A and B are shown apart, each in its own frame.
Chain A
Amino acid sequence: MSSKKAGVTFKGTPEQEAKLLEIIAAHKDQPGALMPVLQQAQEVYGYLPIEVQSIIAEGLDIPLEEVYGVVTFYSQFTLYPKGQYKISVCLGTACYVKGSGDVYDRLQQKLGIKGGECTPDGKFSLDACRCVGACGLAPVMTINDEVYGKLLPDDVDEILAKYE
């Protein structure tokens, strides 16, 4: 059992919590309140760590496990924050046949996180995406607004070093 609690320290502010409590109050007695509350909570915090889900569970008087079950069912929700540098590897058809899967694997290995997660220091988050419109440069990844093309797995070290 690998816990899915985010390794990054939660940095929620009192303002964010007040906002969340307002959102909960607005939906509390509605049937199916959980989905809109989760969607708006993610807008407030950017992700849904245990600290946020616990407030929602308490506010809506439902078990934390039920909240977590819904969060992990829908791909629109994330348990992890985005990093200072958001790495996005294209796993679209063209990039994939050119070996972007290997690049993606190398990044996971190098950063010690899985796709969708964020490094504990909050620096890098890693996601897979589908086509950034630069198939001619396949395989492609982006870090924030920077595009890197014609990648080999061995290029990863050098690129990451630029951000250290």
Chain B
Amino acid sequence: MEMVNIKINNMPVAVAPGTTILEAAHQAGIQIPTLCYLKEINEIGACRICMVEVKGARSLVTACVYPVSEGMEVFTNTPKVLESRRQNLELLLSTHDRKCLSCVKSGKCELQKLCLDYGVDNESAYDGERIQYEIDDSAPHMIRDNNKCVLCRRCAAVCRKWQDVGVIGANERGFRTNISCAFESPLGEVACISCGQCIVACPTGALSEKDQTQDVLKLLADPEKTVIVQTAPATRVTIGEAFGMPIGTNAEGKMVAALRRLGFNKVFDTNFAADLTIMEEANELVERIQNGGTLPMITSCSPGWVKYCEHYFPEFIPNLSTCKSPQQMFGAVAKTWYAKQIGVDPKNLAVVSIMPCTAKKFEVGRDNESAAGVPDVDVALTTRELARMIQTAGLDFVNLPDEDYDAPLGIDTGAGLIFGATGGVMEAALRTAADWLTGGNASGEALEFKEVRGTEGVKEASYTIGGLTLKIAVCSGLVNAKKVLRAVKEGKADYQFIEIMACPGGCVNGGGQPFQPASVRNFTDLRALRAQGLYRTDAKMELRKSHENPSIIKLYDEFLGKPGSHVAHEVLHTSYVKRPKY
């Protein structure tokens, strides 16, 4: 390929044609700051922070969207550039609620960092008229505070382009421009799916999860309560990021140690419930295929996806697996079987979950999720909230010892673990289905269904197992789910089984995961790095198939009978409702 030769700060650089100045500089080891730019999702050149000088150009140009050309000379660090960035920041601050001391984003705020980096020394330089926006706390999972919004539109872009939801966007114009819902409806009243991708995309504290750490502290301090905790598969490979560990580090042992030190009576694992989900879901699939049930069957682990289905594709509700999600299955088993085992009244057993997800906060309040007559799960915290609790408790996370989960609900397999990545549920189901249908006992490489791994939005495969040919699809990011659902609707696809995860890349990239600034997100595939953390651990595990989990075997022996039994239906299955789109 013909390369384009340019100079950045007098250093020669050769890059591919079509490269932007921002990317070219990155390749040359120079970071140009950005605020509104999110690669491939929000390339609008609006915030004017990435301005650089180009020799011969009339004015400064936006590096994020400006393509290089032969002989171009770029200067990223001149007094003119620095002054422009500083002034733009001061202008942004003129309408910004500068309550950094009490802001949930403090220390991780991209605006705050830019102000520090560019030496903004007068935050009131352009004080003038400001609109006071009401804080929107109507949704169960998040809070919107437009007083901290910089109108970068990153939230609106991910909502629309990744999730095909588009319930928030820019309304009005000029000084009155603000990010809100149609007709200024509160977020809790529109067809938001609670995925939280807008929160992780937000550079400031304008969007945040509804913090429930105080609720958990209250439970822990209540002598009447036995408080147990479960941790979702994807949280162990991200919690370390909040404490400076490399992306993709599996910090499971330290997370367990931290939870124990926070005072939880037992530290259990959602992986166990993921294994249970496989037992029920694989059984449901086989039953649907054998009894002429509704196909394709679609997974129901992702509450963001389930809510999307209810709002936007209610005609697919019969296709949704009736299995509760692993989070809810865990709570249901804990408050029925386990509560009896330890002799605790389910009313006094509190289940807290640590989730990579904000939609889990919505899920705990759904109807038909109360196996023991009390909600299966009491509080769902995000990975970020757990990190905050660890910080507040003064635990030195990185230097904690590695500890093991408690039995019996902390016993897991590699199959449950990989639920955290897109394709993981499918692969786990295939591992169990293969053994069941062939009567065999596959191991090693034969357990790895690599076609369903990877971060592509839609993956398809066809497997013939024990005489049964299974056509499957795996999608993540709801814009991809929409494509697949439309193909099914139009008769262009005949899958039997579809895995859908709301967030692109699956739970590892969930809306409740630790913040990574755009400077990292734009040049690193978070989804892949975090997923590798799961697959590396799975490959080393002794038990890699859900049906071999000894706790699962015991649970069926002592309580549930067999998958799909009457008791299993009472405890582990749920129902869905059509919800309005407008």
Contact = CB atoms under 8 A, between A and B. Distances in A.
B166 A62 contact: yes
Nearest to B189: A3
Interface string A40-73: 0000000000100110011000111111110011
Contact of B582 (A50, A66, A72, A79): A50
Contacts of A74: 173
Contact of B160 (A4, A5, A63, A73): A63
B171 A69 contact: yes
A63 B165 contact: yes
Given A1-B134, A73-B172, A73-B173, A68 B182 contact: yes
Contacts of B168: 65
Given A65-B171, A65-B181, A66-B169, 20 more contacts: A1-B136, A1-B180, A1-B184, A1-B185, A3-B185, A4-B184, A5-B183, A50-B582, A53-B182, A54-B582, A57-B582, A63-B165, A63-B169, A64-B182, A64-B582, A65-B166, A65-B182, A67-B182, A69-B182, A73-B173
B118 to A, nearest CB: 31
29 contacts: A1-B134, A1-B136, A1-B185, A2-B184, A3-B184, A4-B183, A4-B184, A5-B185, A50-B182, A54-B582, A58-B581, A58-B582, A62-B166, A63-B165, A63-B166, A63-B167, A64-B182, A64-B582, A65-B168, A65-B169, A65-B190, A66-B160, A66-B166, A68-B171, A68-B182, A68-B183, A69-B182, A72-B172, A74-B173
Contacts of B165: 63
Interface in B156-171: 160, 165-171
A72 B179 CA distance: 12
Given A66-B169, A72-B171, A73-B172, A3 B160 contact: no
B454 interface: no
B67 interface: no
A72 B172 CA distance: 5
Most buried by A among B134, B168, B185: B185
A66 to B, nearest CB: 6
Contacts of A79: 183
Interface string B13-51: 000000000000000000000000000000000000000
B186 interface: yes
Contacts, number: 59
Most buried by B among A53, A66, A72: A72
> Considering the complex of A and B, which 6 residue pairs feature the smallest CB-CB distances, nearest first?
A63-B166, A68-B182, A65-B182, A64-B182, A54-B582, A65-B169
Interface string B179-223: 011111110001000000000000000000000000000000000
Interface in B50-64: none
Given A1-B136, A57-B582, A63-B160, A69 B185 contact: no
Most buried by A among B134, B168, B186, B582: B582
Contact of A3 (B136, B172, B173, B183): B183
Dominant secondary structure at the B interface: loop
Contacts of B180: 1
Contacts of A64: 182, 582
Interface string A18-35: 000000000000000000
A63 B180 CA distance: 13
Interface residues of B, number: 22
A112 B266 CA distance: 58
A64 B582 CA distance: 7
B359 to A, nearest CB: 19
A137 B183 CA distance: 38
Contacts of A50: 182-183, 582
A68 B173 CA distance: 12
A69 B582 CA distance: 15
Contacts of B169: 63, 65-66, 68-69
A163 B470 CA distance: 73
Nearest to B165: A63
Interface string B129-141: 0000010100000
Contacts of A72: 171-173
Interface in A59-115: 62-69, 72-74, 79
A3 to B, nearest CB: 5
Contacts of B166: 62-63, 65-66
B134 to A, nearest CB: 5
Contacts of A67: 182
Contacts of A62: 166
B356 to A, nearest CB: 26
Contacts of B134: 1
Contacts of A53: 182
Contacts of B160: 63, 66
Contacts of A65: 166-169, 171, 181-182, 190
Contacts of B173: 72-74
A68 B167 CA distance: 10
A70 B443 CA distance: 57
A53 B181 CA distance: 13
Contacts of B172: 72-73
A50 B182 CA distance: 9
Interface in A1-23: 1-5
Most buried by A among B134, B160, B168, B184: B184
Contacts of A1: 134, 136, 180, 184-186
Contacts of B582: 50, 54, 57-58, 64
A66 B184 CA distance: 12
A62 B169 CA distance: 12
A122 to B, nearest CB: 19
Contacts of B136: 1
Contacts of B181: 65
Contacts of B186: 1
Nearest to A73: B173
A147 B173 CA distance: 32
A66 B168 CA distance: 8
Most buried by B among A64, A66, A73: A64
A120 to B, nearest CB: 16
Most buried by B among A2, A65, A69, A73: A65
Given A1-B134, A1-B136, A69 B170 contact: yes
A126 to B, nearest CB: 19
A113 to B, nearest CB: 16
A74 to B, nearest CB: 8
A97 to B, nearest CB: 22
